[in-house]
Amino acid sequence: MKLNEDAWKMFQEHLGYTDEEMEAFKKDPRNVDVLSKTDALLSKTFVAEVVEAHGCDSGHKVGDKFYIGGHGNLLTKKCPNKVCLFALMPLAASINTMNELIYAGVDPNEMRFRRVGCSDVGLKCGGWGHIVMELRAEERVRA
């Protein structure tokens, strides 16, 4: 997708860039490439589903789902009322990897290692509890 001037202007306003900052941004070919793939990225919702849980202080249980939009924003209205920060932290690297696969034109569900665990090591290892989440990319439902 080639970006027209209106798209550049909209993005500049979205980020609050000055004209000088926008010119510097546009000079980096990686930025141009990523923005040209925005539609592919925004067509996805990343879902992290809890597949194992024991002793979670936040009460996360098997079947809970965390939803993250294509640009990395937690979609809070679709998530449990309480979301543990320590469950979200390990998701960041995997979401970034899924984004990179999309930029490369690869289905992000082809990622081999899609399970991550929260940073609490669980009772047996001196912590309180532990959850394991499995990540997948779903087509975003457009309203």
pLDDT at 141: 74
Which pLDDT tens digit goes with each residue over 79-93?
A: 999 999 999 999 999
Q: Is the pLDDT of residue 15 over 80?
A: yes
What is the domain range of residue 89?
45-139
pLDDT number for residue 129? 93
Cβ neighbors of 92 (< 8 A, separation 6 or more) are: 72
Number of domains in the chain: 2
39 band by pLDDT with thresholds 50, 70 and 90: confident
Residues 59 and 128 in one domain: yes
- Give pTM, 2 decimals: 0.86
Q: Say how far apart CA 53 and CA 50 lie, in whole Å.
A: 7
Quick one: 87 and 70 in the same domain?
yes
Q: Report, as an integer, the average pLDDT of 56-66.
A: 96
Residues 17 and 74 both lie in one domain: no
